[in-house]
Structure 1
């Protein structure tokens, strides 16, 4: 699912990679390893500069890791204080290096959506996440790892272009909505050097651990979009995030092959690969055990407390990828704990459609966040 570094008032195009020694003498999170101009075909309309950046971040289990992403700066003169930043966390594209949006490009849906945000006067920085285009397997739906990538993408982008402000928000769809929620909790304490204002999550998966661990060899086929592909990604992501945990012992020979393929195939190819493959046929034993549940929960469970900034959750009523009951439970749990959440459901809207349907509400929400007085530390 899917152009110029400011030195004073001058813009200079970085046309060659920056060596690690030049860019980041210290191995600190958010430091730049390399930066190269994006090919013209990967620019967002309205961008005045666009670069691909490789940077240091924090991966699964808190270990140092590399991530990559793209920086899009609007045309024109930045406002006083610099361009406010939207850190975009993308939806499911796959787990293989070939799937990274900074090299593979983006869907027209995402280009249209991000162009709208840029037209509002924001620089767009977009992480690929750890393992997409960088070493290792992408730990799919590892919320903390994705949040670290999103935060450090802002740090790296500001190191590349000084016209970017410290004020920023996280905005994400689907897998990226999940990442945006984790970012909303983690950002204030992980990056006190930045001015994080809040987050927007559209179609965020939640409560997955309570559903996935009910699966077993005899689970019936369910009428949910591309469910087997998503399940294979979740299992491959769990293995990448918790390598000491033996996911393979739950899998049939077919399941082992499908999960191995999930580590390299992009979304469309993965859907094709799993056509006619049931979840039950992938599993040799039920996932219903404490060891599996606790490992999955430690990776995917959306935090219900700890939000220090306002955030917005948008959900399509007709979403069959992330069914609305899951998000209604999330919203209820957040409200019961007095978290600063705004929740909106959009009738007649499916998973992808929620992005466009919610834009009038979410752009106004972010405008208020970024125009308010500096957020409390």
Structure 2
């Protein structure tokens, strides 16, 4: 059930809704996703859900306000939930606020979404699919759960629901609910992914059991890889069957070097370095924006980090375009402490004890195919069982959708619904 904010707790300014052009973008994205996945969903059904989401938008701001004081609780403990009327056909959905931890183990609150089939549950309950979303930004208002359609970035959602999964989708810390910035901070994101699955188990009606699979795209690929690395020690109650990623952010230093020459690299760099300066700066000498960025870039990095990738792309480009070629003051792959921080947040330094599925588009100009290939090779050398799929003629945006047939075949090979 939804819990109102506590008496006397000040309400934050209303987060801007992604309406107008955002609706057009969301509809276009959803139609592309649905067609690409060969899902039998009618356009007007999608538009109807978006319309319901706009109505819901006027009522959900208080949901993200933490109770005051925040009660101490174990990671994954559900603080509150509320039904989402615009749930996709055949499902029930909830917005959630739950306890998780940051990279230092501190208790934080994180928001997200849970979606479950609305049919009778099988004996033994349903497996959980915990999803890591691609980059939408790093500010609170960029959280997927705040959007007019909070389901539009969960790639494969309809098929997962049809197959019988409970889908848990974290916003990541600092997005939606207030909390420390988590952009490309692997340990925090990984804990958020696992704790979203724990929270899903506590919602009456999901019938979620302890069987778990992880799925993420781009930034979300990095987050679920960290979740897989941490699962045995952080959430040992789960029976983790496998982790799947599409165009994952793996070697962060190499990805940054490959992308920094265009507007996407500058935007992502602003998100990442602002996050690292915020999270690591208080305890790490030299982790300040003026030690890594040129003076013009350092002056506007916070402004860029306040903008969302969806809905505020034009504003981002206006700021980022003049910085192309003039963004970095030093090479972050060699200059300390940045080189160490990028390495710390690069997944794949140890063997995974569960099977790994990796999809990569051969035309991806953001997460470069050669970097993903190096990650696959290194994981195999460590002993991880890897299934690698190259999706021909595919760039960064569509790789997760086009990987779904191979992904579900792989899930079936693990004894999971497909």
| TM-score bracket relative to the smaller structure | 0.7 to 0.9
What is the distance in 2 between the residues matched to 1:70 and 1:336? 36
What is the distance in 2 between the residues matched to 1:367 and 1:26? 39
Alignment correspondent of 2:116: 73
Is the contact between residue 117 and residue 165 of structure 2 (CA under 8 Å) also seen in structure 1?
A: yes
Alignment correspondent of 1:267: 309
1:328 to 373, 383, 398: 373
Alignment correspondent of 2:100: 57
Alignment correspondent of 1:248: 290
Is the contact between residue 155 and residue 400 of structure 2 (CA under 8 Å) also seen in structure 1?
A: no
- 1:61 is paired with a residue whose SS is coil
What is the distance in 2 between the residues matched to 1:313 and 1:338? 15
The verdict on how the C-alpha distance between 1:18 and 1:136 changes in structure 2, with shifts beyond 3 A counting, is closer
Q: CA deviation at 1:143?
A: 1.4
The verdict on how the C-alpha distance between 1:114 and 1:278 changes in structure 2, with shifts beyond 3 A counting, is same
Alignment correspondent of 1:44: 88
Alignment correspondent of 1:138: 181
The verdict on how the C-alpha distance between 1:225 and 1:119 changes in structure 2, with shifts beyond 3 A counting, is farther
Residues 107-135 of structure 1 show CA distances to partners (whole Å, capped at 9, x for unaligned) of 88635621122122111110001110122
Q: CA deviation at 1:64?
A: 1.9
Q: CA deviation at 1:336?
A: 1.4
Is the contact between residue 255 and residue 282 of structure 1 (CA under 8 Å) also seen in structure 2?
A: yes
Alignment correspondent of 1:12: none
- 1:72 is paired with a residue whose SS is strand
Q: CA deviation at 1:311?
A: 1.4
What is the distance in 1 between the residues matched to 2:270 and 2:89? 35
Q: CA deviation at 1:50?
A: 1.1
1:208 aligns with 2:252: yes
What is the distance in 2 between the residues matched to 1:238 and 1:207? 16
Question: May I ask how many residue pairs the two structures share in their alignment?
Answer: 348
1:85 aligns with 2:128: yes
Residues 331-373 of structure 1 show CA distances to partners (whole Å, capped at 9, x for unaligned) of 111111111221111111111221122111111212332449x
Is the contact between residue 316 and residue 347 of structure 1 (CA under 8 Å) also seen in structure 2?
A: yes
1:187 to 213, 227, 231: 231
Q: Which residues of structure 1 form unaligned runs of 5+? A: 3-15, 373-377
Q: CA RMSD in A?
A: 2.9
Is the contact between residue 139 and residue 240 of structure 1 (CA under 8 Å) also seen in structure 2?
A: no
What is the distance in 1 between the residues matched to 2:115 and 2:151? 16
What is the distance in 2 between the residues matched to 1:274 and 1:17? 32
- 2:322 is paired with a residue whose SS is coil
What is the distance in 1 between the residues matched to 2:153 and 2:408? 15
Alignment correspondent of 2:395: 350
TM-score under structure 2 length normalisation: 0.76
Is the contact between residue 150 and residue 183 of structure 1 (CA under 8 Å) also seen in structure 2?
A: yes
What is the distance in 2 between the residues matched to 1:240 and 1:331? 31
Q: CA deviation at 1:177?
A: 1.1
What is the distance in 2 between the residues matched to 1:130 and 1:291? 23
The verdict on how the C-alpha distance between 1:293 and 1:252 changes in structure 2, with shifts beyond 3 A counting, is same
The verdict on how the C-alpha distance between 1:45 and 1:261 changes in structure 2, with shifts beyond 3 A counting, is farther
- 1:282 is paired with a residue whose SS is coil
Alignment correspondent of 1:277: 322
2:300 to 237, 240, 258: 258
Matches within 5 A, 1:92-241: 92-106=135-149, 110=153, 113-161=156-204, 163-210=207-254, 212=256, 222=261, 226-241=264-279
What is the distance in 2 between the residues matched to 1:314 and 1:332? 14
TM-score under structure 1 length normalisation: 0.84
What is the distance in 2 between the residues matched to 1:228 and 1:26? 39
Is the contact between residue 228 and residue 277 of structure 1 (CA under 8 Å) also seen in structure 2?
A: no
Residues 229-273 of structure 1 show CA distances to partners (whole Å, capped at 9, x for unaligned) of 111112122223313222333233321233202332100425434
Is the contact between residue 32 and residue 56 of structure 1 (CA under 8 Å) also seen in structure 2?
A: yes
Is the contact between residue 66 and residue 109 of structure 2 (CA under 8 Å) also seen in structure 1?
A: no
Alignment correspondent of 1:7: none
The farther-off stretch of 279-288 and 186-195 is 279-288
Is the contact between residue 100 and residue 132 of structure 1 (CA under 8 Å) also seen in structure 2?
A: yes
1:292 aligns with 2:338: yes
